[in-house]
Amino acid sequence: MKQKSIDKTFVIKVAKSTKKYSVPETRTVRLRNKRGNAKRPSFQSNRAWITAADYQKHWKKIEWLYPGVIPVGYVSFIFGPPSSYKSTLGAQIVACVTLGVPWPDESPGLETPGQIVWVETEGNQSLNQERFHKLGIPLDQIIFPQPSEGEFRLDNQKDMNTLQETIAEVRPKLVLIDSLSGGISTGSQSKTLARVFRELRQLAKRFNVAFVIIHHTRKLPASSRKRDYELNDMRGASELGQFARSVLGLDEPDSQGARGHIRIRHLKCNFAPRRPNIGMRISNGVPVFDKEPPVPPGAETMLSRAMDELPRWLEDGPKPSTWIKQNCESSGISYGIAKKAKVLLNIQKEKIGKHWFWKLPDA
């Protein structure tokens, strides 16, 4: 079969179009010399990989602002539900940086105190001034980046440029943002939260400064408020908990018995063992720390409550399982604990129509 010839004009056209592309020069990296000794490849070679020896030249040992809790050059978080004194803890950390006083867990303070940059996104400047005065923080050590208009917006590129310029000029020891979600427009939070967080991580690394971000828990109905908040309870993108290098969680586990006693839990640290939980009380607007944090009601206590409540709920007749579950949530009793109490009390479960009911044992 005779092969069809290619049109000469088409060949010339293809040849001209390939002229604008150039093949990059590559250099073969010899991993061993003639004696058999390993050679260290150079970063300048055009290859898609490096060795651990290459990386070692650029690797720096982890530095700590707050030993074991707040690393320098990375982003850390303080998060918790409303009214858990997150900003008060943030102000205390600022006092530690600017005054050199001991840290909340009584670790020795900084030998050389320094300035901090406070990014206020919720319009609480007056309240912050009161906190600073009560803690004795020198006001000339606190720098506020000037927003383009009104409150500082993390999703506003002008404000972010201002923050970068401020850090470059001041060279602070700490940048504290209160809060992350407060600086992002409500309608675009889900789209921009992760992007803004990535920009903040880059700033922390570029200027080798510790970032602490105050953040909120995701919204939960009042009937299902939790006592033990975890990383996945942070509001917004899952990237926050994943890429934050250290996270402090605040909660109030025994809100009935010890009102105002906050528990500080070190939920995550990539570079060191997590620190033990500590407690925090507020006295005249100033945080007071102790090494005996409040403890949430134990399973046995909750079990005894469930064993007291179930007979009372069922005394006037069987109740649907869904009704029992709703009552458990409103009473602060785990449904799993209620099922254990059901077994211990010999409460029966039967199907009536399409639904399951709980009822007291027959006399």
What string of DSSP letters covers 39-107?
PPPPTTS--S---HHHHHTT--PPPEEETTTEETTSEEEEEESTTS-HHHHHHHHHHHHHH-PPPTT--
Domain boundary among 9, 33, 59: 59
Q: At residue 137, does pLDDT exceed 50? A: yes
- Bridge pairing between strands 142-143 and 116-120: parallel
> Is the pLDDT score of 167 beyond 60?
yes
Give every CB contact of residue 14 below 8 A, 6+ residues apart in sequence.
Answer: none
Q: Are residues 314 and 282 in the same domain?
A: no
The model's pLDDT over 214-247, given as tens digits with 9 standing for 90+, comes to 998 887 655 555 667 888 888 876 678 888 999 9
Q: Identify whether residues 189 and 232 lie together within a single domain.
A: yes
Mean pLDDT of 249-257: 70
Sign of the Cα torsion 90, 172, 153, 66 reads negative
The Cα 326–Cα 345 span in angstroms is: 20
Determine the Cα angle at 74 with ends 239 and 234, to 5°: 35
Confidence of residue 20 (pLDDT cuts 50, 70, 90): low
Q: How many helices (H) and strands (E) does the chain have?
A: 10, 14
Do 264 and 178 have their domain in common?
yes
* Same-domain status, 180 and 167: yes
Task: For the beta carbon of residue 351, count every other beta carbon within 10 angstroms.
Answer: 9
* Residue 303 shares a structural domain with residue 193: no
Does residue 8 lie in a domain region? no
> Residues of the chain with pLDDT > 70: what percent?
79
pLDDT score at 63:
96
Task: Report the alpha-carbon angle 281-286-287, nearest 5.
Answer: 35
Give the domain-ending residue among 290, 315, 337.
290
| Among candidate residues 290, 312, 346, the one where a domain is terminated | 290
Q: Is residue 38 part of a domain?
A: yes
Nearest residue to 53 (alpha-carbon basis) of 43, 40, 66:
40
265 phi and psi angles, rounded to 5 deg: -115, 135
Same domain assignment for residues 51 and 74: no
Percent of the chain with pLDDT over 90: 43
Query: Which range of residues forms the domain containing residue 54?
Result: 20-59
- The pLDDT of residue 303 is 79
**Partners of residue 234 on adjacent β-strands:** 217
In the chain, how many domains are there? 3
Residue 30 pLDDT > 60: no
Closest CA to 146 of 128, 129, 166, 132: 166
CA–CA separation, 235 and 216 (whole Å): 6
- Are 157 and 209 in a shared domain? yes
Range scoring the smallest mean pLDDT among 31-35, 112-116, 302-306:
31-35
pLDDT class of 199 with cuts at 50, 70, 90: very high
pLDDT at 26: 44
Confidence of residue 151 (pLDDT cuts 50, 70, 90): confident
CATH number for the domain harbouring residue 304: 1.10.10.10
